[in-house]
A and B are shown apart, each in its own frame.
Chain A
Amino acid sequence: MMRRAILGLLLAAAIVPGSALPQTTGQTKLLTLRAGLLERELDLAKLPNAYFLLDMREKRLILKAGGTVLRQWEMGGVRAWGAPNEFKTLTLVTKSALNPPQRVEIKPGGAEETPAPAAAKEKEAAKKPQAGTPAAPPEFELEALELKDMPKSFEMVFEGGLRVSVKAAGQSLKSTLGRVWNAVRWSIGRPLEAVYAKAKKRPFRVLELTLKEDKEVQALYWALFDGIKGLIWYTPVN
């Protein structure tokens, strides 16, 4: 019973990021962190590229460019394993998924030989032009990368070894089996992975973000391109 209680406490410390963070550091500490993050964001905002801010406390991921919000994703859940990163700018090295989207190679002059290149379909569609903007886009298949082709769960690896997995709430939690698998993976798999990583002297930092819908996961996969930079706010900074 005692062991269970201790394990429960440790688990709570591990999975609830807010609880694992300093709670009584005072206004000066918060302002120091806030200033540091703002300085780093200012550096990112001066560049022409988009960047992201992952706010662990507010459970929100914000995509920005030039200081302007492009889009934001509200998260249903956030879990963390491993010590939080230092407050530095992170770079996305790679994304991986079970079924990653594949770019279509266009066959030069292939409109006659191979059916369905975008240009051929466009010409077909253009035979029946309609005035004005359509209420809904046509549903036929295109040889193109579209939002619907993006994976519904994926993992990102950042410089320094931070791994961030993203899934939708409805995806694995729908079935009891999925729920059990998720719990086992997190509460048994993660500590074992952490011990293995320690033995190999490799950093082990994992975040798990749960978005509300599959489409939001797909949109996030689309938006976060390899090489994008960003910041993670582990502590309350408001």
Chain B
Amino acid sequence: MGGFTKFLLGLVAAAAVLVLGLITWGYVDQFRQVKAWSAGAAAQQVSAAEAKRLPAKVTGLTKRLEALTPRGLYILIDTAENRLYLKKGDQVVREAVVSCGSGGILKEPNGKRSWIFDTPRGQFHVESKLTNPYWVKPDWAFIEEGEPIPKNIEDRIAENELGAYALGFGKGYFIHGTLYTRLLGRNVTHGCVRVGDDDLKAVFESVNLGTRILIY
């Protein structure tokens, strides 16, 4: 075996030992960290009086948390699956195929404004209940169509676009009807939640102002 080959083999062996050492160090360090964390967590001391109060504290906190959950009917919307559930507790009272936001972006040409067409997520409430609603088209609706933005509000009004009912849940977002029933189940809207006629009627008649709407 030549000197150079020996040197190379030695180099490879040294590198292997180094890597093995580093790996072992990694494991040892991990073990130490977890042990230190466990010891630290276990070292949290509470006085005897505090310890006595703990079960009641946990029960109280659990009750406070449970008290936040809706008592009566509430609406749950899954924007990924495009489903609306009318629920009471864990029970699904009605399930509907809906259309939620497309997630598209619209930028105003030569302007500074832009819009993202997501259905908002989180916790909302029914803020308005409208029968035979009409749509006051916002600026983006005209920009998207490539039309000039009208000066008069009358020119913004579109009738028969929102179906027979609408439930407002804030910031201009509604659960409403649709002309495009074939698109139910797909993400096509500008953020509102479109519902088929029969389901919309049932949901509209079941909920009151203030009913919780949970969207994810």
| Chain A residues proximal to chain B, CB less than 8 Å | 7, 10-11, 13-14, 20-22, 25, 28-29, 31-35, 38-39, 41-42, 45-46, 48-50, 63, 65-68, 70-71, 81-84, 103-106, 108-111, 117-119, 121-122, 125-126, 128-134, 136-138, 142-147, 150, 188, 190-195, 198, 218-219, 222-223, 225, 235
Report the stretch among B7-15, B76-84, B129-137, B151-159 that lies at the interface.
B76-84
A-B contact count (CB 8 A): 239
Query: Are B28 and A119 touching (Cβ within 8 A)?
Result: no
Q: Chain A residue with minimal CB distance to B27?
A: A10
A68: contacting residue among B22, B29, B69, CB under 8 A:
B69
* Interface pair B23/A145, CB less than 8 Å apart: no
Beyond known contacts A122-B188, A194-B29: 20 more, CB 8 A cutoff: A10-B31, A29-B42, A31-B58, A32-B44, A34-B58, A35-B57, A38-B58, A42-B65, A45-B68, A66-B123, A67-B69, A83-B34, A122-B183, A134-B182, A191-B22, A192-B23, A193-B26, A222-B80, A223-B216, A225-B121
Mostly, the A contact residues are mixed
- Mark B58-69 against chain A: 1 for CB-CB distance below 8 A, else 0: 100110111111
Cβ of B198 within 8 Å of any chain A Cβ, yes or no, is yes
Known: A104-B103, A188-B23. A65 touches B185 (CB 8 A): no
> Is B70 an interface position by the 8 A CB rule?
yes
Contact of A106 among B29, B69, B81, B144 (CB under 8 A): B144
A45 CB to nearest chain B CB (Å): 5
How far in angstroms is the closest Cβ of chain B from A154?
15
Cβ–Cβ < 8 Å partners of B181 in chain A: 129-134
Q: Name B26's contact: one of A28, A66, A190 (CB within 8 Å).
A: A190
